Every structure is written in structure tokens, then in C-alpha cells.
């Protein structure tokens, strides 16, 4: 693992790191904030998954999480959203596919199957690296994310029961298998058989019996993607039928941006801290 940069912040350390990933077949960059409490022993870890077009940098620069993480003594890990590089298959003019749009799944279709294995990367490879290199307590993990990352956080929690003690999301893509901005990506990554898509759709995973104890979601009412891409009412209905305790906060006047995320970041970190 290579250290790209480190900076002192709120008495902790914000670092950026790079390593060669076997899962994605390329170098991957990620950010970790280690709070000051880690000087006395391992701390809980909270994974933040970013949305379409983003890298680790977006939340690191605009998410305003460090003060809250330092207050509660939680490490924050911010992975990239996809593999990147000149030899990675991509559609450079399509922000909903390829670089920046890995959808936290393991692709099965050529030529994408070789590199777009973000589910394995987030669930297996990166946690092993973080556990080996940072003072974190892997028995106390939470996960959250924004938009595509909210989708990823919920699906990973549903498919890894017991690993994450808490899961939340900002404006998650509730049902990507039917959303206009994610269906084309699912078909290119996973093929035309929609049965294979169920493994990466929160509402369908719940329908198929996967469970978390509880879920926190914040959604802005002025989000331009609300009615086409996000549709939180589908997640609400799936949770209601399954008996999952969902707290869905519809935030009046807020959009899809990091102004929205940073406003409620403290609420989410506090919610996770109570459970970690």
C-alpha cells in the first residue's frame, strides 16, 4: 500500500492511499480518516460509498464528516466508485456507465467482467487491507453511501448479514433494475437475463428474503432524480412488507448535491455511532 498523502484534521489523520487491486485488475485509490481515539486502541469503522461520477475525493472535500467522526471516535473509509485507467473498458461520454459508475456489482459480461468487480473489492479485498493497515475494530462496522453508493451500501449490508451493525443512505437508488438511469448499466455489466440483476437491487433482495434490522434514509424533496432514478417509496414498501424498521426522512427543499449530504452527515454518523 502506498501513502499518497496525509493531513492532520480534528486531531486525527486524513489519508489517501493507493494499492494494486486483484479484484479490479488495476490500481485503486481510497481515503481513510483515523480519529484521535485510535491512539488508544482500535476504533469502529464506517464505510462511505460515493455516487455516480464521483471518486473518494468528493466526500473527502465536501462531505464534512471529519469533525463528527472525531467526536464519536469512528474511522471513515471512502473507496473509489469504479476501476480506472487507460486500459479499463469505458464509455467516456456516458456518465451512467464505466469509470465512475461501477454500481458496486461484480460484472459478468465481457469486456467488463475483468475489471468491474466492485462488490468483491468492497466486501472482501479492501476490508482485508484496511484491517491489516489501520487501527480499526472490524467487529464494529457500519456502511452508508449516496445515490449509487446508497444502493451499494444497502445491497452489501443485505447480502452480508451480521457484518455491518448499521446501514444508512442519502438518496439511494431504491430499485436500480427498473430505474431508467441504471437499467442500461445493469444489462451491460450483467447481461440480458434480469434474474441476475436481483442480487444488486435492494428492493428485490428484500423480496427474496435478505434482511437488515433497521435502515436510515434521508431524501431531498427537491432532488431532480427523485421520481425517475431514486423512488424511495419502493424501498419503503419493501421494508414495510418485510418488517424492516426504516426511518425515511423526506427533507423539504433539499436536492441531490453535497450541500444536502453535508447538512445531514452529522445525523448519520451519530446514528451509526449509537449502534457501533
Per-residue pLDDT of 72-106, as tens digits, reads 999 999 999 999 998 999 999 999 999 999 999 99
Name the band, by pLDDT with cuts 50, 70 and 90, for residue 181. confident
Q: What are the backbone dihedrals phi and psi of residue 263, each rounded to the nearest 5 degrees, phi first?
A: -65, -40
Q: In which element (H, E) is residue 268 found? A: helix 258-275
Clarify whether 255 is annotated catalytic: no
Clarify whether 182 is annotated catalytic: no
Provide the grid cell at 131.
Answer: 484491517
Q: Is the bond preceding 111 in cis, omega lying within 30 degrees of 0?
A: yes
Kindly give the pairing relationship between strand 43-49 and strand 75-78: parallel
User: Which residue out of 147, 166, 182, 202 is catalytically annotated?
Assistant: 147
Size of the chain, expressed as the number of residues it contains: 276
Q: In which element (H, E) is residue 45 found? A: strand 43-49
Domain borders along the chain are 2-274
Alpha-carbon gap, residue 261 to 247, rounded angstroms = 16
Give me the chain's average pLDDT, please: 97
User: Which residue out of 99, 223, 268, 272 is catalytically annotated?
Assistant: 223
Share of the chain above pLDDT 90, in %: 99
Alpha-carbon gap, residue 173 to 192, rounded angstroms = 20
Clarify whether 82 is annotated catalytic: no
CATH T-level assignment (fold) for domain 2-274 = Rossmann fold (3.40.50)
User: Which residue out of 210, 256, 268, 272 is catalytically annotated?
Assistant: 256
The whole-angstrom distance between residue 73's C-alpha and the CA centroid of its chain comes to 20
Amino acid at each position: 500500500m502506498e501513502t499518497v498523502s496525509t493531513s492532520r484534521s480534528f486531531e486525527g489523520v486524513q489519508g489517501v492511499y493507493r494499492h494494486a487491486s486483484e479484484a479490479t485488475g488495476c490500481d485503486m485509490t481510497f481515503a481513510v480518516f483515523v480519529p484521535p481515539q485510535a491512539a488508544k486502541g482500535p476504533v469502529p469503522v464506517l464505510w462511505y460509498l460515493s455516487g455516480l461520477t464521483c471518486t473518494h475525493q468528493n466526500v473527502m472535500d465536501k462531505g464534512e464528516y471529519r469533525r463528527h467522526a472525531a467526536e464519536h471516535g469512528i474511522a471513515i473509509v471512502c473507496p473509489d466508485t469504479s476501476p480506472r485507467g487507460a486500459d479499463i473498458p469505458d464509455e467516456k461520454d456516458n456518465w451512467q456507465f464505466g469509470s465512475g459508475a461501477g454500481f458496486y456489482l461484480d460484472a459478468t459480461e465481457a469486456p467488463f467482467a475483468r475489471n468491474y468487480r466492485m462488490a468483491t473489492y468492497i466486501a472482501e479485498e479492501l476490508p482485508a487491507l484496511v484491517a491489516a493497515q489501520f487501527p480499526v475494530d472490524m467487529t464494529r462496522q457500519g456502511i452508508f453511501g449516496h445515490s449509487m453508493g446508497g444502493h451499494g451500501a444497502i445491497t452489501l449490508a443485505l447480502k452480508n448479514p451480521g457484518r455491518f451493525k448499521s446501514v444508512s443512505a442519502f438518496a439511494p437508488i431504491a430499485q436500480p433494475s427498473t430505474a431508467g438511469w441504471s437499467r442500461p448499466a445493469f444489462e451491460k455489466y450483467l447481461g440480458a437475463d434480469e434474474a441476475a440483476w436481483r442480487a444488486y437491487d435492494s428492493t428485490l433482495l428484500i423480496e427474496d428474503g435478505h434482511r437488515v434490522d433497521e435502515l436510515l434514509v434521508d431524501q431531498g424533496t427537491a432532488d431532480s432524480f427523485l421520481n425517475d432514478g431514486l423512488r424511495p417509496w419502493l424501498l419503503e414498501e419493501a421494508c414495510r412488507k418485510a418488517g424492516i424498521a426504516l426511518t425515511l426522512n423526506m427533507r423539504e427543499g433539499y436536492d441531490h448535491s453535497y450541500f444536502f449530504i453535508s447538512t445531514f452527515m452529522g445525523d448519520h454518523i451519530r446514528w451509526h455511532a449509537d449502534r457501533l
